[in-house]
Structure 1
Amino acid sequence: MHPQVDIAVAATARSGQAPTWDFGTETLLWTDPLAGGVHRFRPGGTNATMTLQQRPGGAKPRTRGGLVLHLEEGVALFDAHGEQRTWLVYWAREGMTAAATMVDRRGRMWATTMREDESGDGWLVRVGADGSAGVVIKDLEAGLGLATSPDDACFYVADAGTHRIEVLDFDVEAGLLSNRRTLCEVGGQPSGLAVDTEGTLWTAVRDKGELHRYAPSGELTGTIPLPAQRPTNLCFGGQDLRDLYITTARDGLPSPTDQDGSVLTFRAPAEGLRTYAFTG
């Protein structure tokens, strides 16, 4: 039996991305890179928007207040009012754009970049609170999802270009990855990753209009059809972390519906892992 999927945010996003539950404000952060939008949705309330001059791949809360944004040209800090921007890391390269963003338990940011046409040469970068940055993986095609296991022993990367979810051994204290290998073949383009407390991996399959669930072993354990044609990313949220939010895209669809470009939601069978704030 499939869950009832509802519209949480009735929007017409060109390509909604990077949903993140902000514990400090009990709101959902999400972006629309093609429109330059950073959104903050308060369940039962408003969806406020900040518009930027370049594509925001992801927006995450900071322990010092404000946001850290993964932009086309690098990583920038914004104050609580969204008015003052400070570059933390600047890595602008022609034809490259921001992709996935994650903050680990120690407050470090992990971010992927990719070519706008998703033709390869993408990389995964680790960014510290002081702006120190290092490339960890150099050959991603379209790394559109990042997550860790409940015990932080595994680090997951969803690559829409190769149709795979990869897994690496993770030393969370040192911020080191090793032993990269394939966890599973998705049979479509995985876009976004979320993990629940049982260790189950959830990913949106953007070219099939559905969600997949995978056991920690990589076995497919469930497929959930969605009313949107192009889901792009997902996260757990709500007070009990059982509301699964799914961003979607509208651009390029010949016959978009009200669901396409909106943020969808349904009640998940298990609680999701909490997200963390960037310490910079």
Structure 2
Amino acid sequence: MRAEVAVRAEARLGEGPTWDAAAGRLIWVDILSSRVHTYDPAGGRRTVLATGQHVGAAAPRAGGGLVVNLRDGIGLYGPDGTTFSWLVHDPVPGRRGNDAAVAPDGSLWAGSMRDDETAGGGALIRVAPDGAVTEALTVAVGNGTGWSPDGRTMYYIDSPTRRIDRFRADGERLADRSTLATVERGAGYPDGLTVDADGCVWVALWDGGQIRRYTPRGELDRTVVLPVRRPTSCAFGGPGLRDLYITSARTGIERPHPLSGSLLVLPDAGQGLPGTPFAG
């Protein structure tokens, strides 16, 4: 497999690719530039939404519009793309929202982190469609979140641990934590993830310049070397959910590769799972 350029960009911290099936477009964010981007691979159309504060992730809503994981909480954009309201407003100095994903039941699981990445300074929360919040974990850097094809297992990454963990998912509760795989030192840090139709977990390695695919048994069965040092996350999209889109960052790199910060794609990489829009 060889990565191609979907959108050439210089995102400071590209993150959170999510396929919007209803609109036929990919949603992704530039956290540090406070922007939500969309890309239509069929027509090439792109849009940019300025959020006014750091945005860790964005996902489609069932009724149209977006749910966004912002610095100060969880926000909602209406179908017009401009109307905004807070669903959860919980500003904490020095903390911001990071990665987030919508569960099969339509709830949002949103991670946060402190700017200094202090252990225990962030959290993983479940946000119900009505805005009710349940805190599931305390973390350092809340990152990749995804579910097995049957929805019974949730995978999760707290990047400094170097682990990809799994839980038995039961509504708002998580149980039976175990480790699917650990990324060895020198290979980078696990960041964002997605799960394919075979139940395998694809993980972007920050500072590792790779995408890895792990089987449900934790075996590493595929590694794709990328031209960028800091890939951040990945998601299947495009016709039939066959193409793997990869976000990347250029922040903190003295001499970044010319493609750092771009949206990359691995054509026909596998078979993705249909996503669920946020029910709120």
Q: Under a length normalisation based on structure 2, what TM-score does the superposition of the two structures give?
A: 0.95
CA shift for structure 1 position 271: 0.4
Which residue of the partner structure matches residue 177 of structure 1? 174
Q: Is structure 2 residue 28 aligned with structure 1 residue 30? A: yes
Cα shift at 1:255? 1.7
Change (3 A) 1:29 1:201: same
Q: How does 1:99-138 map to 2 (within 5 A)?
A: 99-121=98-120, 122-138=122-138
Contact 2:243 / 2:269 at 8 angstroms: preserved in 1? no
Q: 1:16: how far off?
A: 0.2
State the distance in 1 between where 2:183 and 2:135 align.
26
Query: Bigger shift: 240-249 or 216-225?
Result: 216-225
Structure 1 stretches of at least 4 aligned residues deviating more than 6 Å after TM superposition? none
Cα displacement string for residues 48-88 of structure 1 (whole angstroms, at most 9, x for unaligned residues): 10112101111111111111111011101111222221110
Of the three residues 10, 18, 21, the one matched with 1:12 is: 10
When residues 42 and 192 of structure 1 are mapped into structure 2, their CA distance, relative to the original with a 3 A threshold, is same
Report which stretch shifted further, 38-47 or 54-63.
38-47
Q: Any idea what the Cα deviations from partners look like across 1:30-51, whole Å, max 9, x if unmatched?
A: 0001001100111141221011
- Write the distance in 2 (CA, Å) between the matches of 1:126 and 1:143: 13
Give 1:157 shift: 0.5
The residue identity in structure 2 corresponding to 1:90 is: H
Q: Deviations over 1:98-154 (max 9, x none)?
A: 11101011110000111112222221100011111110112x121210001111111
- AA of the residue aligned to 1:38: V
* Offset of residue 267 of structure 1: 2.1
Q: How far did 1:224 drift?
A: 1.1
Q: Give the counterpart letter for 2:10 in structure 1.
A: T
How far off is 1:258 after superposition?
A: 2.5
Tell me how far apart the structure 2 counterparts of residues 7 and 231 of structure 1 sit (CA, whole Å): 13
SS of 2:109's partner is: strand
What value does the CA root-mean-square deviation take over the aligned residues? 1.1
Q: How much does 1:177 deviate?
A: 1.2
Give 5+ residue unaligned stretches, structure 2: none
Q: Is the 8 Å Cα contact of residues 159 and 189 (structure 1) preserved in structure 2?
A: no
Q: How does 1:200-239 map to 2 (within 5 A)?
A: 200-239=200-239
1:137 maps to a residue whose letter is: L
Deviations 1:194-225 (A, max 9, x none): 11111110000011111111111111112110
Question: Could you report, residue by residue, the CA deviation over 1:162-208 in whole angstroms, capped at 9, with x for unpaired residues?
Answer: 1001110012xx33211112221112311101111111100000111
Q: Which one is further off, 58-67 or 250-259?
A: 250-259
1:265 aligns with 2:265: yes
Query: Residue type matched to 1:205 in 2?
Result: L
Q: 1:250 deviation in Å?
A: 1.1
Bigger shift: residues 49-58 or 181-190: 181-190
TM-score, normalised with respect to structure 1 = 0.95
Paired with 1:258 and 1:35, the residues of 2 have a C-alpha distance of 18
How far off is 1:4 after superposition? 2.0
Contact kept in structure 1, 2:244 and 2:269, CA below 8 Å = no
The number of aligned residues is 275
**Corresponding letter in the other structure for 2:133:** A
Percent identity, aligned pairs only, is 40
Query: Distance in 1 between the 2:257 and 2:172 partners?
Result: 42
Q: 2:46 matched to 1:47?
A: yes
Matches within 5 A, 1:37-76: 37-43=35-41, 44-76=43-75
- Give 1:270 shift: 2.2
